[in-house]
Amino acid sequence: MGPTAQNLPEGGAVGKAATVEPTGSSELTLNSIARGNFRQVVGTAWSTVGGMEVRTVGGRYAIDGRLGEGTNGQVYRARHLQLGKAFALKVISPTIALDGAARARFNEEAKLASAISHPNIVSVVDFGEDAQIGAYMVMELVEGEPLINEQAAPMSVRRACDVLGQIADALDHIHRRGIIHGDVKAENIMLTAEATGARRRRIARLLDFGLARLSSGDGEEQLNGSPHYLAPERAAGAPPSVAADIYALGVLGYVMLTAALPFDGSVVEILMAHINRDVPGLAQRRGEAVEPAVEQLILRALSKDPAKRHGSAAAFRAELNAAMDALEQGQRQPSGPIPVAHRRDPTLVAAFERSRVAQALLSLDGDIVFANKSFARLVGIESRVEGLNVGQTTLANMVPGFARALRAAHDSGQPCERRARVFRGSDAPALELTLWFAPLGVPGLEVHLLVRVEDADPRRRDE
């Protein structure tokens, strides 16, 4: 079934770097299970693959060195001979290479994966069979940092939720195309930086689709994957599924929020714990309370019964969005008037004030820095609204995702839109609100909010 995890640190902590071992050793390193049966390897000659002298793979990739090794194969840094571009090239393990059915399934799934494009997924760009080394696949080489670094402490709730949302989006994308990842874990996620104007945002990238799942050849799926992330039904022998990926997503959230794995021990002990034991509370492992909406999200994903988990990655994402909105609202505190340290163009201020469209400039925390009279009338405040937090008005409560949209516009540097419908009773048509959030390059990093209000078209169905 695999090696034990008896060498894990106390409490199942994660984040310790894998030990670098001399080339040629077949022994897995300390913390190998927690690190996903993966070890960093150095010192391998650029032309050596699986003990053979290999100069090129598939006639077009030169091997520059080995990046790592897992239970399903070895990963090398490769260079396309014509393009000169670097890629990650995975050579499938001999166990799979000798199994014709497994090799055929690998080729079929690799072909499907190569057609997938998503910002949170590392793309498969090529695959094939080499006469000397057998089946291989080529993926884009991700230059970034691991999700969990050495001696990692629990992440902030906001950052953990951001990563979970991105990975949920990636899983939803592949699930809709009939692909089960089967190996979601912290070690299969890299963080890269993406620049948007003057801002930089961390992007979580999901690696290794688990395309080379082992098959015994008798029609039964062997137990594979990282034991610490394995759903109870998978530990009992059930095949990979959407529900199992959701469970692994819950474990991922648990790990990020507590810097510890839910269960520890030998592989058998871990698998039995997934089936029989309750997950230790997040507050117990984290050392402080976690927002109830976030904890409920994680524990639901970690339900023993697959039917009690989120029905899809999209459903997980929807509950996560609601939890993030609750988190944003809870962290806002009423504030006094905000002094404006810079002058605004009097002409623009006059146009802003005379506009019949409700407009305001909001800080990242939702404080109203500047607003026109139309905005004040919209939120039902006759006096000045500057200095108030938009969370203290009815507007934020009427528009689902308001806080998330405000932050998204700020973080991405791109405008976004939200819509809401407000019902006024049976004797009046509903109002339809359209909100535009546009970031501004002015001191204070303000976001420009415009709100259009119109009677809802009764012929238009609710989205």
- Residue 224 to residue 226: CA distance in whole angstroms: 7
Q: 171 and 127, same structural domain? A: no
- 34 occurs within a structural domain: no
Number of domains in the chain: 3
Could you give the C-alpha distances from 226 to 100, 185, 409, in angstroms and in order?
24, 8, 37
Which of these is catalytic: 162, 169, 172, 183? Answer: 183
Question: Do 275 and 170 fall into the same domain?
Answer: yes
Tens of pLDDT along 123-138? 889 988 888 878 888 9
309 and 367 in a single domain? The answer is no
222: phi then psi, degrees, rounded to nearest 5: -70, 155
Question: In this structure, are 171 and 274 located in the same domain?
Answer: yes
Containing 128, the helix (H) or strand (E) segment is strand 124-130
* Helices within 355-434 (DSSP H only): 373-378, 394-398, 402-412
Helix axes 313-331, 292-301, angle to 10 degrees: 160
Confirm whether 146 is domain-assigned: no
Average pLDDT over residues 39-50: 38
Q: Which domain holds residue 70?
A: 44-140
Alpha helices in 266-343 (DSSP H): 267-276, 282-286, 292-301, 313-331
Please report which residue ranges of 346-432 form alpha helices under DSSP H: 346-354, 373-378, 394-398, 402-412
For the whole model, what pTM was predicted?
A: 0.62
The answer on 226 and 308 residing in a single domain is yes
Domain assignment of residue 336, yes or no: no
Is 305 among the residues known to form the active site? Answer: no
- 361 and 292 in a single domain? The answer is no
Residue 331: the pLDDT is 53
269 and 416 belong to one structural domain: no
pLDDT in tens, 217-260: 344 455 667 899 999 999 998 988 999 999 999 999 999 999 99
For the record, the structure tokens of 4 come out as: 């034990």
CATH number at residue 419: 3.30.450.20
**What is the reported pLDDT for 349?**
63
Q: Say whether both 353 and 325 belong to one domain.
A: no
Instruction: Indicate the residue among 306, 330, 354 that finishes a domain.
Output: 330
252: domain CATH number?
A: 1.10.510.10
Query: Are 281 and 371 found together in one domain?
Result: no
Q: Are residues 119 and 235 in the same domain?
A: no
- The verdict on residue 6 lying in a domain is no
